[in-house]
Amino acid sequence: MKGINMLHHIGMSVPSLDEARSFYVDVLGFEELGAGEFERDPEIDRIMGLKDSAARAVYLRLGDAKIEMFEFSAPAQGRGSADRPVHLHGFTHICLDVTDVLGLHARLAEAGMSFHSAPVEKMGVRTVYGRDPFGNVIELQEIVTADPTDGEILPNDTPAMEGEAS
């Protein structure tokens, strides 16, 4: 789309910035770009749609991907809703492109990362979902024959579901 250049970063809220930094930098290998904090800044509150917010933040990079992490001390955490404020924890998942998912899976499992399963090969990739210390999902994906995000989501050999024409 004209005027939009690229995805710049992912923002996420975590309950412990120190624990997040340790996991993402020391375990996953992200580079720390900088850190900062804010408290009751009317301009930041206006941008985020919050009131009297306060947080520490760290900026991380892995290749071209950047993550902006916040540990909010205000407002207090609440229950999620359809109008989920940006300070609540979570995202669907982030995906890290890797060269040896089997070896990395073993190394990260040994370091304490939990996984939903062992790596699975499907649709041209070897992939596995795991969780950071706060339960956020991180996908490790090794492209074996094709990147599914470059085309069809379902492989051509997927059988038709019951009731569908084949």
pLDDT digits 0-9 by tens, 43-74: 888 878 789 999 999 999 999 988 988 899 99
Highest mean pLDDT among 55-69, 71-85, 119-133: 55-69
Q: How confident is the model over 139-162, as pLDDT tens digits?
A: 888 989 987 777 654 444 443 334
User: Are the CB atoms for 130 and 116 separated by under 8 Å?
Assistant: yes
Q: How many domains does the chain have?
A: 2
Residue entry with tokens 């375990």: 27
71 shares its domain with 111: no
Gap between the Cα atoms of 96 and 49, Å rounded: 30
64 shares its domain with 115: no
1 shares its domain with 70: yes
User: Are the CB atoms for 94 and 117 separated by under 8 Å?
Assistant: no
Q: pTM of this prediction?
A: 0.70
pLDDT of res. 23: 94
- Return all residues near 84 (Cβ < 8 A) that are at least 6 apart: none
Domain holding 113, by residue range, is 90-150
User: Are the CB atoms for 45 and 52 separated by under 8 Å?
Assistant: yes
150 CB burial (10 A radius; 0-12, 13-18, 19+): exposed
- Return all residues near 147 (Cβ < 8 A) that are at least 6 apart: 124, 125
Asked if the structure places residue 25 within a domain, the reply is yes
Asked if the structure places residue 84 within a domain, the reply is no
For 133, half-sphere exposure in the C-beta direction (CA atoms, 13 angstrom radius) is 18
CATH of the domain at 33: 3.10.180.10
The pLDDT of residue 118 is above 80: yes
Amino acid symbol at 24 = Y
